[in-house]
Structure 1
């Protein structure tokens, strides 16, 4: 009986984890289809699972290197190469907004729910156009 319960728990955990990755990809796709940067939108991420999901399930173009991308989705600061520091950056951790001045927005999980923040001064500085659909996520400063 304990074995059956353990296996059932593992299956539920795996599905919940997979579902979270899919939801994250869908949210990010909606964000990126509602922004406009100066270059063609080509995405690279240091999160390989996320990059794989983008390749498999979205219409957005991806790149295998940050140098060939126009938008970087960053999970960890140490994975950002110096050669890519001047690219448009979107982060997956709120604290990275403070640490990386080139990042214009973040999507992160708080209390089990996704949160989106887009910083108005940074989108102006980088000439990023944001659709009205994302207006409720635009903030003047980092909290």
Structure 2
């Protein structure tokens, strides 16, 4: 969890790292924290280049039914079976959907992570203290 904070704080100074690798590392930390699993199963609804190219410690699955968490890159036509799973967005606007726990998105060249406390509570998810500054009441 501390690695996530280090990555975010020094992201501007990491010149040699590929942007997709950095993004994938952040997603991996978030997904592991939400699922509490070392090798979580992730379904990507539509497209997420960073996780598809650098999956890291996650296992990509081909359908929602087998997933521990669903990464949504669009809210259009989400399969009904996905609504029973924890969803995480890739855009701020995804937080409008009450089924989305949180989102990781870029704004003005900086990474942003946001969770809503009541949604985490509804799903009985307790994140590590290192995520406290990303949780909005």
TM-score class, shorter: 0.7 to 0.9
Equivalent residues, number = 120
Distance 2:26 2:77 in 1: 22
Spell out the pairing of 1:85-124 with structure 2 (5 A cutoff): 85-98=83-96, 100-124=97-121
Tell me if structure 2 keeps the 8 A contact 1:44–1:63: yes
Q: Which has the higher helix share?
A: 1
Spell out the pairing of 1:1-143 with structure 2 (5 A cutoff): 19-36=18-35, 41-46=40-45, 47-55=47-55, 58-98=56-96, 100-140=97-137
> TM-score, structure 1 length as denominator?
0.74
Give a deviation string over 1:56-91, Cα, whole Å, max 9, x none: xx1122211122112001101115211211210000
Tell me if structure 2 keeps the 8 A contact 1:93–1:107: yes
**Gap runs ≥5 in structure 2:** 1-14
CA root-mean-square deviation:
2.3
**Gap runs ≥5 in structure 1:** 1-15
Q: Which residue is 1:4 aligned to?
A: none
Tell me if structure 2 keeps the 8 A contact 1:44–1:62: yes
> TM-score, structure 2 length as denominator?
0.77
Q: 1:69 to 1:60 in 2, by over 3 A?
A: same
